[in-house]
Amino acid sequence: MDDSLLSWEVLEHEHHHTEPEWYWMVGIIAISVSVAAFLLSDPLFGVLVVIGAFTLSLYSAKGPFFTKVAIGASSITVNGKSHPYTTIDSFSLDGDKLILEKSAFFHPLIIIRIEEGVPIDDLRRALGLKLKEHTHTEPLSHKIMTALGF
């Protein structure tokens, strides 16, 4: 992108190696809950638990991919998806994370990891020209998933 003021490439999240015992644990818990659901005449919940455990196992086995971020004059681009400044209410710099609040019905937060070499003062200055800076905290669900290794 030629009009980018700052750009970086960083891993989507820290990858935590999952031991085989973890998969066994997820499988045993899922089968146990599923059998209990079938015995309590709730087969749909039992199937949902098995599908959820399978999906969780696949997701944990997948490694993180690189996220390409570009702060431009008119938008912020993340992996080729442009977020114009007109659709963003505010930003916050929280440690090694850039948190953007979108102006949408549910006010979703976009959390972007910041590479170590990116000058935080330059990033704050570039975003401050177009957006308001507010204090946003990382959602509890995001912190829990990070602690669990996702």
Answer whether 130's CB lies under 8 Å from 84's CB: no
In the prediction, which pLDDT does 1 show? 43
In the prediction, which pLDDT does 116 show? 85
In the prediction, which pLDDT does 45 show? 96
Answer whether 6's CB lies under 8 Å from 129's CB: no
pLDDT tens-digit series, residues 96-112:
888 898 887 776 888 88
In the prediction, which pLDDT does 29 show? 95
pLDDT tens-digit series, residues 17-55:
778 898 999 999 999 999 999 999 999 999 999 999 999
Domains and CATH numbers, the chain: 80-147 (3.30.720)
Mean pLDDT check: name the lowest of 18-27, 51-60, 139-148.
139-148
149: pLDDT strictly greater than 70:
no
Q: What band does 130 get if pLDDT is binned at 50, 70 and 90?
A: confident
